[in-house]
Amino acid sequence: MFRFAGISALIVRNLGGGSACCKFCGDTVSDVISLVEAQKIVIGGCEPVAPVLVDCQSMSGRVVAQDVVATEFIPPFANTAVDGFAVRAQDVTTAGVELDVLGVIGAGHVASYEIGAGQSARIMTGAPMPRGADAVVMIEDATELSPTRVRCNKPAKVGDAIREIGEDVRAGDVVFKSGEVINAAGIGVLASINARKVLSYPKLRVAMLSTGDELVIDGSELKPGQIRESNLTMLAEMISATGCEVINLGIVADDEAVLESKLRDVATKCDAIVTSGGVGQGDFDVVKIVLSRIAEMNWMQMAIKPAKPFAFGKLKTSDARVIPIFGLPGNPVSSMISFEILARPALRKMMGHTQNLTRPTVRAIVDAPMKRKQDGKIHFMRVFGEFTNDGRLHVRDTGPQGSHQLAATSQANGLAIVPDGQGLPAGAEVDVMLLS
C-alpha cells in the first residue's frame, strides 16, 4: 500500500524546522531557513479571497464557500430505470403471465390512466411510473404478443427497476459542504437541484512578469549576450493549470520607474503577482530594488536545491487591497520548483482550498543510484516514475540536474525529495512528489 502525504510533513521529517526569516530590504538577506519555515511564511501569509456568486456551469475546480442545500428531490418523481413494462407486482408472481397493454409512456410524459388488475403499460427509461404500477418488467424479460398484449417471462417484485423519488438527493440534504471542490459530476448535481448560482471562491487573476534586457521573446535572431525567454512561457501554463487567470505582462525593461509603474498599475487589476528573476543574494536586479521600495518583502534563502532563493511580500494598493507577491528565481528549473512548492499551494489557499494544498507524495523505489554531494540541503531531483509489476512506483532521474537544465526536467513526472548526504543507492526508498 502506498503512503501519500503532504510535502510539508516530509520536509519536517527530513530536515526539521529552521530559524525565523526576518524582513530585509535592498541587498540584505536572511539566514538560510528550512522549506518548512518558508512555507509558513508564504502559505501562512496568504488568505482566501472574498467569495462571489458563480454560475453553476463555471464551478468546475472551484471551492464552495458555504453549504449547498438541496431544495428539490432527485429524482423528482418515481421513474423507470429500464425500458420495459410497468406492472402490478401482485399480477406477476410467476413466469408466463399475460397482461393487457394500455399504451406507451415515454420520458417526459405522464400517463393519464391507472394500471389496474391484469394491465400494464409499455414504458421507456426515465418515464414517470403510472399510477397503480409498482414494478417494471425489463423488455428483455417480456414477449410482446401484440401492440396490446404482453407475456411476462419472469416474476416481478415490488420496486423492480424503479428509481424512487429522492433516491439520490432529498430536499433539505446538504449536497456539498463549505470547502468542497466541485468536479464535473458536481456541476451536474448543482444543475439537477436547480442551484444555478453558487457562492464560491473565484479564480485568481495572477499577473506575471520578468525583467532583463538580455531576454528575447519575439522569435527574432539572438544578438551577442541575449537568451530566449522561457520562464514566463512555462509559468503561464503552470499558473493556468493551478486554476488561475493569467495576466502576462511579458518582459519589462530594466528601468525602475517603468517597473514600479507596471507593478502598481497591475496590482489594482489582479489578486497576486509572480515575478521571475532578481531574488538571489547577489542580485541587484531592478525587481529587487523596486519591490523592496514599494512592498513589504521577505528575501529568503532556503536549505534546498535547486530554488534556494525566494521572495515573498505584500503590496498595498491604492484601493486598500493587499496583493501577495511571489518572487521566483531566474534559473528555469529553480523557478519551476519554487512555484510548485511555495507559490502554487499559496494560490490554492487563496482560492479556498484547505486540503491537499501541495501535490501528493508517494514512497518510491530508486532504480538507479541518485548521486549528490552533502551540502546541508534537501535536493529535489527530477525523476521519471512508473508503476511496475510489484505494485510499487519505481523512479530514475531524467538526466542533468542543473538548475538551468530545463530539457531534462521536461521529461520528469515527479520530484524525488533526497535528504542531505551522498545520495541514494539503487533499491533504496525515496519520497517522490507527483507532478502528473
- Whole-prediction pTM: 0.85
What angle (nearest 5°) sits at the alpha carbon of residue 248, between those of residues 406 and 216?
A: 55
Bridge-based pairing state of the strands 97-105 and 119-123:
parallel
DSSP 207-275: EEEEE-TTEE-S-PPPPTT-EE--HHHHHHHHHHHTT-EEEEEEEEPS-HHHHHHHHHHHHTT-SEEEE
Element spanning 293, H or E: helix 286-294
What lies within 8 Å, CB to CB, of 15 at 6+ separation is: 34, 35, 36, 303, 378, 419, 420
What lies within 8 Å, CB to CB, of 61 at 6+ separation is: 181, 182, 183, 243
Length of the chain: 436
Alpha carbon 95 to its chain centroid, in Å, reads: 53
Task: Look up residue 139 and give its DSSP letter.
Answer: G
Q: What's the CATH fold of domain 361-434?
A: Beta-clip (2.40.340)
The amino acid sitting at 93 is: T
What lies within 8 Å, CB to CB, of 44 at 6+ separation is: none
Q: For residue 88, what is its C-alpha cell?
A: 402490478
Interatomic CA distance for residues 414 and 238, integer angstroms: 15
In this prediction, residue 146 carries a pLDDT of 97
Q: Where in the chain is the domain with CATH 2.40.340.10?
A: 361-434
CATH 3.40.980.10 fits 23-49+203-341, yes or no: yes
Backbone angles phi, psi at 274, to 5 degrees: -120, 125
In this prediction, residue 246 carries a pLDDT of 97
Q: Where in the chain is the domain with CATH 3.90.105.10?
A: 54-74+168-200
Taking the domain 79-163, which CATH number applies? 2.170.190.11
In tens digits, the chain (436 residues) has pLDDT values of: 333 455 555 544 444 444 433 443 333 344 899 999 999 999 999 999 999 999 999 999 999 999 999 999 999 999 999 999 999 999 999 999 999 999 999 999 999 999 999 999 999 999 999 999 999 999 999 999 999 999 999 999 999 999 999 999 999 999 999 999 999 999 999 999 999 999 999 999 999 998 766 676 777 788 787 677 778 889 999 999 999 999 999 888 788 999 999 999 999 999 999 998 877 665 567 888 999 999 999 999 999 999 999 999 999 998 889 999 999 998 889 999 999 999 999 999 999 999 999 999 999 999 999 999 999 999 999 999 999 999 999 999 998 787 777 888 889 999 999 999 999 999 999 999 999 8
Query: Are 212 and 254 a contacting pair, CB within 8 Å?
Result: yes
CA torsion sign for 76, 80, 85, 86 is: negative
Q: Where in the chain is the domain with CATH 3.40.980.10?
A: 23-49+203-341
Interatomic CA distance for residues 64 and 179, integer angstroms: 5
Q: For residue 228, what is its C-alpha cell?
A: 530566449
Interatomic CA distance for residues 178 and 68, integer angstroms: 8
The amino acid sitting at 340 is: E
Furthest C-alpha separation in the chain: 94
Interatomic CA distance for residues 131 and 136, integer angstroms: 13
Interatomic CA distance for residues 78 and 222, integer angstroms: 70
Cell match 541518485: residue? 370
CA atoms within 13 A on the CB side of 216: 11
What lies within 8 Å, CB to CB, of 386 at 6+ separation is: 393, 394
What lies within 8 Å, CB to CB, of 425 at 6+ separation is: 366, 369
CA torsion sign for 279, 283, 288, 292 is: positive
Query: Are 99 and 144 a contacting pair, CB within 8 Å?
Result: no
Query: Are 92 and 155 a contacting pair, CB within 8 Å?
Result: yes
CATH 2.120.10.30 fits 54-74+168-200, yes or no: no
Element spanning 297, H or E: strand 296-302
